[in-house]
Amino acid sequence: MTLVPASRIVNPETDRQSKPYIGRFAPSPSGPLHFGSLVAALGSYLQAKANQGQWLVRIEDIDPPREVAGADKAILTTLEQYGLTWDGPVRYQSQQTELYEQVLTQLREQGLTYACQCTRAMIKQQGGLYSGSCRQLALTDKNNAIRLHVEQGVTAFIDKLQGQVFINPDMAHEDFIIKRKDGLYAYNLAVTLDDIDQGITEVVRGADLLEPTARQIGLMQLLNAPVPDYVHLPLAVTKPGFKLSKQNHAPSIADQDIRQTTWRALAFLGQQPPPALVHEPQTNIIHWAIAHWQLKKVAHQTEQILS
């Protein structure tokens, strides 16, 4: 195990004073919800409601080339059908560009950003991690990607389910992209700024986002924002390394039996729902799940094979 100086280990539990709970589910509208997305939605919903918290829904529509027309509405309808009702208005990231631009300007004025002309192929040739070669070039932002100059990367953090997570130090110190060459805001910038702006106290999501968490925490620290707690749920996989995803056409849960699928998601999350629960109305299933929710029963692993 890598030895990390204690000062570089972020433990949100000790960094933050107790505040009313605000959680969120943040789907990208690139297709309908599948079983894997239901696990993230249900897990974040139950963790929020069992902590008497608010559960927000944010549509992460900042990558039009990957989006499917109408997927946002379909996702919201499916959440409602599954009894997962959100608090407050739904936030659309496409409407938050003023916030992203404002912070980008602030970081630029602090000398923490620079333009980069390297293509993906060039970086691959350098071994896959960006070396910072454009730092001194003073290129113009136009038609180039904007990177954050990472002075002190986060190399480890505590996840409430996965425990202490260590990040490859080279990756932790990589200057990552915050605005893409095509002018689109990068996921790490947008997600971090929205989590700060919406006052999220705990992020519950799939373990595929474990690595980017270190970058998001680093950005929060740079902006002097409080760091939320993190819970990364096991990913639903068909066999090791094969997660269900929109890209591999996992079936939509909108076409499945709602009660049975919810029961399966609760079982996947280790909650041991009684067999008879599946015959109850959906509202009763959700009530049972809130009343019996125990985070510690969820498997402490990044992947779990679907049975």
From the list 4-12, 26-34, 133-141, 148-156, the region that binds ligand GLU by CB under 6 A is: 26-34
CB of 138 to ligand GLU, least distance (A): 33
Instruction: Give the dihedral sign, CA 55/61/63/67.
Output: positive
Nearer to ligand GLU, 28 or 261 (CB): 28
Nearer to ligand GLU, 67 or 174 (CB): 67
How big is the site for ligand GLU, counted in residues (CB under 6 A)?
7
3-class DSSP state of 34: strand
Residues with Cβ < 8 Å from 234, sequence gap 6 or more?
Answer: 207, 268, 298, 299, 301, 302, 303, 304
User: Smallest Cα–Cα separation from 243: which of 45, 34, 54, 69?
Assistant: 34
Distance between CA atoms of residues 188 and 85, nearest Å: 26
Q: Which of 189, 191, 210, 227 binds ligand GLU (CB under 6 A)?
A: 191
CB of 220 to ligand GLU, least distance (A): 13
CB of 296 to ligand GLU, least distance (A): 22
Decide if residue 202 touches ligand GLU (CB under 6 A). no
From the list 21-29, 134-142, 250-258, 291-299, the region that binds ligand GLU by CB under 6 A is: 21-29
Decide if residue 28 touches ligand GLU (CB under 6 A). yes
> Could you say which residues in the range 250-269 bind ligand GLU, by CB under 6 A?
none
Decide if residue 159 touches ligand GLU (CB under 6 A). no
Residues with Cβ < 8 Å from 306, sequence gap 6 or more?
Answer: 35, 236, 237, 238, 244, 268
Nearer to ligand GLU, 27 or 234 (CB): 27
Question: CA distances (Å), 229 to each of 142, 164, 189, in order?
Answer: 36, 13, 18
Residues with Cβ < 8 Å from 223, sequence gap 6 or more?
Answer: 103, 196
Nearer to ligand GLU, 160 or 259 (CB): 160
Interface pattern 209-248 for ligand GLU (x via CB under 6 A): x---------------------------------------
Q: Using CB under 6 A, list all residues that contact ligand GLU.
A: 26-28, 60, 191, 205, 209
